[in-house]
Structure 1
């Protein structure tokens, strides 16, 4: 940290402490490298660290942070840079582990802000309650799968891990072909039953380290990370898992599915990966 930054922070600290000391939400202010510039006691408690550890970057032995799938989170420098480049808010779930202590599940909202003329990232931390993903519209109410917003966040995290850990990330889109016609012939209740059955098959057929989400009204998505290959085997596994005949009401139905996939080393942005997968799905 430069001398100017230290001087600016020393002027900021009394005002900051006065503003946030009574808040019940955890607050962190970081620079573009993820260096914590200021924080409060609530944030330290939620992160299972002392304020000193947060400010100095020290992490005790046995302390780790993962997303809610169990995968390691990108470091804060990556997340801070992502928020500042996009200049838009981002939200992520975190699971904090510490040897000998129960896990702490928190929700983090990231905001790009300007403080004394410099670009900073403001992080708001809250403990995760069981209904928080539903109340934020992150969970699809019909299938119980992550919805589109959470899918985009998981995909972004997967791309960061691919870039930083040397793995590959594959996005698979699954389209339920002619769902509107099925609803017209059999009713929307049967269409919903078809979707929930497919969601259950995909969730049970995929390993825990893969994200299964509802991408749209008639589309599902799966995110998988793997050391090598093109993702074709993953797409075929998904096709086999979801494509078996099922009983909907009194009818035996074989769902018509279209599947597309894109594999990347993480250097393509989220919107490009999605656009390519959608284009392949249409053709």
Structure 2
């Protein structure tokens, strides 16, 4: 997760400093590019950084932030843009590691707000001392599909069932290739329309027993359980559903897709299954 550096102090009223200093939770206020405009000591402590590091984007050697599986977190700019476009809150866990320091687990809640007439993202950080509850109903605000957190939970449950029942679990990743170029040419609203159309096709076209989730900004994921065989048929079905031409605005668009799949008997970890699927996707 990177944060763009700021070239000048944020111009916020002094009341902001008074307000956020007294909070018992960590607070970050960012713009649409992920630049941190204001923060407090609690946020700095949770992130294991100095306040100046948060404001300038400096990250010391040995400092990393990942999700619960060990995978790198999406960029703050991507998350901020998603929250502002959707206008809905987003929640995600983070794991902070720094050389010589104990690992910290944090729950981050992203909210679209307006400050001095400008759209901003307010991020509230809280320490997680026990396993994050899976009953929060976390959904991707744009597509309505399960988000990254629920996907990881469903994948873990699928692997457990595969081990105990002697079945198989398949993870399919569907990547919308060059989505950034599409957004640049047609605008983010059209890009969001493309993603919501793909989400509806996958959810309606695949078995109700499968989990269809939004894994990242341009990736969808499918978790499927089956008694035998490989996951190739499931992956090809997902590719077929997602690759149909669609009408976006006045244009006829055929999405460019990359698809990968991994089938396991449940003996692999969530992190290893995800890593292998992403490696195959990159190739």
Structure 2: 5+ residue runs without aligned partners?
174-202, 229-233, 247-254, 256-283
Q: 1:65–1:95: 8 Å Cα contact kept in structure 2?
A: yes
Q: 2:238 aligns with which of 229, 243, 261?
A: 261
1:130 CA displacement = 2.3
Is the alpha carbon distance of 1:29 and 1:197 closer, same or farther for their aligned partners in structure 2, counting shifts above 3 Å?
closer
2:203 counterpart of 1:219: no
Question: Moved runs in structure 1, 4+ residues, more than 3 A?
Answer: 155-158, 196-199, 202-210, 222-225, 262-265
CA distance in 1: counterparts of 2:172 and 2:97, whole angstroms: 17
Over the residues paired in the alignment, what is the CA RMSD in angstroms?
Answer: 4.9
Q: How many residues align?
A: 194
Q: 2:26–2:44: 8 Å Cα contact kept in structure 1?
A: yes
Is the alpha carbon distance of 1:220 and 1:32 closer, same or farther for their aligned partners in structure 2, counting shifts above 3 Å?
same
Q: Indicate the SS of the match to 1:72.
A: coil
Q: 1:91–1:109: 8 Å Cα contact kept in structure 2?
A: yes
Q: Indicate the SS of the match to 2:107.
A: strand
Match for residue 153 of structure 1? 147
User: Residue by residue, what CA displacement relative to the aligned partner does 1:216-236 show, whole Å, maximum 9, x if unpaired?
Assistant: x962327799xxxxx9xx98x
Q: 1:71–1:209: 8 Å Cα contact kept in structure 2?
A: no
CA distance in 2: counterparts of 1:130 and 1:153, whole angstroms: 20
CA distance in 2: counterparts of 1:154 and 1:99, whole angstroms: 27
1:262 CA displacement = 4.1
Q: 1:108–1:126: 8 Å Cα contact kept in structure 2?
A: yes
Is the alpha carbon distance of 1:63 and 1:197 closer, same or farther for their aligned partners in structure 2, counting shifts above 3 Å?
closer
Q: 1:201 aligns with which of 124, 141, 162?
A: 162
CA distance in 2: counterparts of 1:103 and 1:209, whole angstroms: 30
Q: 2:146–2:213: 8 Å Cα contact kept in structure 1?
A: no
User: Residue by residue, what CA displacement relative to the aligned partner does 1:238-278 show, whole Å, maximum 9, x if unpaired?
Assistant: 77x6315xxxxxxxxxxxxx99534989xx9xxxx9xxxxx
Is the alpha carbon distance of 1:201 and 1:224 closer, same or farther for their aligned partners in structure 2, counting shifts above 3 Å?
farther
Q: 1:69–1:208: 8 Å Cα contact kept in structure 2?
A: no
Is the alpha carbon distance of 1:207 and 1:97 closer, same or farther for their aligned partners in structure 2, counting shifts above 3 Å?
farther
Query: Please, what TM-score do these two structures have when normalized by structure 2?
Result: 0.54
1:124 CA displacement = 0.4
Structure 1: 5+ residue runs without aligned partners?
140-148, 159-172, 175-195, 226-230, 245-257, 274-283
Q: 2:134–2:150: 8 Å Cα contact kept in structure 1?
A: no
CA distance in 2: counterparts of 1:102 and 1:27, whole angstroms: 21
Higher helix share: 1
Query: Please, what TM-score do these two structures have when normalized by structure 1?
Result: 0.54
1:136 CA displacement = 2.5
Q: 1:110–1:121: 8 Å Cα contact kept in structure 2?
A: yes
